[in-house]
Amino acid sequence: MTSAVASNAVLTELREKIANLEGAGLRQRSVLPFGVGEIDAQLPGGGLAYGALHEVAGGGNGAIDGAAAALFIGGIAARTTGKVVWCLTRFDLFFPALAQAGLHPDRVIFVEGDKEETVLASFEEALRYGGLGAVVAELVRLPMTASRRLQLAAEKSGTLGLVIRRWRRQTEASDFGMPTAAATRWRISMLPSEPLPVAGVGRARWLAELMRVKAGEGGEFIIGACDGQGRICLSSDAADRPDQASRSFALR
């Protein structure tokens, strides 16, 4: 009897040590759901994990898809609570568009660096600081070593880390296929807007590809662009499903 009790005590102590090594951020991590059942079901915990790094890039249509990726990120940041730090090297954001996606200018602190290394350093520092709604960085490359440091910084503070992959030339886009420590990886592409029963332009639509997710499965979704509160919706137009598949194949 005494031997059994001692064995249980040892096992309990070992479990506590393992839990401590995994870190408090992993034990208490919460998520930011999209509010779209089909998408949240693909994500562990039912949403984007706080205390983690998430990557987003535009599809194959250059600046147009890149703008959609930025708005997708802006909508995510808009649904967090607190200030948002946005690190970048090119101050070319059209902020009225981000405001329409729910990210009010009063919430954003811009950090402009002269080179990408400065952006990485600012991004990591802001992630370690804590107390922020989200931290965003615009990066061309995200090496595995740097992504691990950023992931650890996000885990320590519990902050949502969002990376927009931006390329100055098409040859740099191949770097997006390299492995990183990010919890999720997304690709956003423009689609024709929602059809209206009358002449006019309907709600913008995107093809959102969840290309990688830790402990989960990817997927492809046709979604309505972010509204004034940063929320997306699943498109109900089934007629676009064949186009979705063909476009996705073309972008790979």
Fold type of domain 46-238: Rossmann fold (3.40.50)
**Residue 115 to residues 72, 130, 207, Cα–Cα distance (Å):** 24, 24, 31
Structure confidence by residue, pLDDT tens digits, 161-170: 999 998 776 6
What does the alpha-carbon distance between residue 48 and residue 194 come to, in Å, rounded to a whole number?
A: 26
| 3-class SS letters over 34-96 | CCCHHHHCCCHHHCEECCEEEEEEECCCHHHHHHHHHHHHHHHHHCCCCCEEEEECCCCCCHH
- H helices of the chain, where? 2-22, 24-27, 37-40, 62-78, 95-100, 116-129, 144-157, 241-251
What does the alpha-carbon distance between residue 201 and residue 193 come to, in Å, rounded to a whole number?
A: 7
Task: Decide if 230 contacts 103 (C-beta within 8 A).
Answer: yes
What does the alpha-carbon distance between residue 187 and residue 125 come to, in Å, rounded to a whole number?
A: 26
Low-confidence ranges of the chain (pLDDT < 70): 1-29, 61, 169-173, 236-252
What does the alpha-carbon distance between residue 109 and residue 44 come to, in Å, rounded to a whole number?
A: 30
What does the alpha-carbon distance between residue 191 and residue 24 come to, in Å, rounded to a whole number?
A: 41
Task: Decide if 166 contacts 55 (C-beta within 8 A).
Answer: no
> What's the pLDDT score for residue 17?
57
pTM of the predicted structure, to 2 decimals = 0.81
Q: Tokens 């997710």 label which residue? A: 213
Instruction: Please state the separation of Cα 205 from the chain's center in Å.
Output: 18
Task: Decide if 211 contacts 176 (C-beta within 8 A).
Answer: no
> What's the pLDDT score for residue 196?
82
Question: Using CB atoms within 10 A of its CB, is residue 22 exposed (0-12), middle (13-18) or buried (19+)?
Answer: exposed
Task: Decide if 179 contacts 84 (C-beta within 8 A).
Answer: no
Report the phi/psi class of residue 82: left, alpha or beta, with left for phi > 0 and alpha for psi in -120 to 50.
left
> What's the pLDDT score for residue 119?
96
> What's the pLDDT score for residue 16?
58
**Residue 252 to residues 104, 169, 174, 198, 209, Cα–Cα distance (Å):** 34, 17, 11, 35, 11
For the chain, domain boundaries: 46-238
